[in-house]
Amino acid sequence: MPSYKLTYFDGRALGEPIRMILTYMGLEFEDNRIDMESWTALQKEIKWGRIPVLEIDGKEMYQSRAIMRYLAKQAKLAGDNDWEAYEIDCAAGTVGDLIDLYRSMWKLSDEKTKEEWEKKLLDEFIPSFMKNWDEQAKNTGFLANGKLSWADLYLHGWVETLEVLMGKEIVNEYPNLKLGREKVHATPGIKEWLAKRPKTVY
């Protein structure tokens, strides 16, 4: 049995989707949560300077979507054929786009520009992505192919952090996404993880 070690901040954000897929697969993993002080030093050592990093038997893996897709193939959450895999990749890519749009705000040093961006996120970007996802998830709650995939874990693992950071409930306004969240949270492995995971602010 390989050993798994996930290094990320003490929060959900981009670490939680990977924690979810590991627990879905029933894999034990070292949940290495680092504080900002350690991060400053660690960032210089890590190739690409970004986390999450997943180590499998000490071998480092980078890029959260690449990590998830790799695990998802083993978990049978990556589609049953090339088209299904594309639909999942596409959905996950759009989640990545909204993450990037959110993170763009951090790069804005000017307070006024930052406020304008935050308003755009709340009024335009977030509703537009959520609306599209909600349509895709119609009836089943799942983003792609009408069944659970790693794209659902990616969205629902991350989106709780978005809700905290924006100070707003978001998903509950979209019935199909709400259903998807409930299904993901009730999935064996993930359900037990949610009950025992550390409580964090974001």
State the binding string over 74-113 for a copy of itself (x if CB under 8 A, else -): x-------xx-xx--xx-xxx--x--x---x--xxxx--x
Please report how close the Cβ of residue 14 comes to a copy of itself at its closest, in angstroms.
12
Contacting a copy of itself (CB under 8 A), which of 1, 35, 47, 57? 47
Residue 56, strand partner residues: 4, 59
46 binds a copy of itself (CB under 8 A): no
115 binds a copy of itself (CB under 8 A): no
C-beta of 108 vs 170, nearer to a copy of itself: 108
Alpha-carbon gap, residue 160 to 84, rounded angstroms: 26
Q: Which of 120, 94, 93, 92 lies closest to 105, judged by CA?
A: 120
119 binds a copy of itself (CB under 8 A): no
Please report how close the Cβ of residue 1 comes to a copy of itself at its closest, in angstroms.
17
Q: Exposure string (b/e) for 8-33, b if CB count within 10 Å is 16 or more?
A: bbebbbbbbbbbbbbbbbebebebbe
67 binds a copy of itself (CB under 8 A): yes
State the binding string over 16-35 for a copy of itself (x if CB under 8 A, else -): --------------------
Alpha-carbon gap, residue 91 to 149, rounded angstroms: 10
C-beta of 70 vs 193, nearer to a copy of itself: 70
Computed over its alpha carbons, how large is the radius of gyration of the chain?
A: 17
Alpha-carbon gap, residue 160 to 178, rounded angstroms: 12
Alpha helices (H) in 32-141, listed in sequence order = 36-45, 64-75, 82-104, 111-120, 126-136
Q: Which residues bind a copy of itself (CB under 8 A)?
A: 47-50, 61-63, 65-67, 69-70, 73-74, 82-83, 85-86, 89-90, 92-94, 97, 100, 104, 107-110, 113, 117, 128, 132
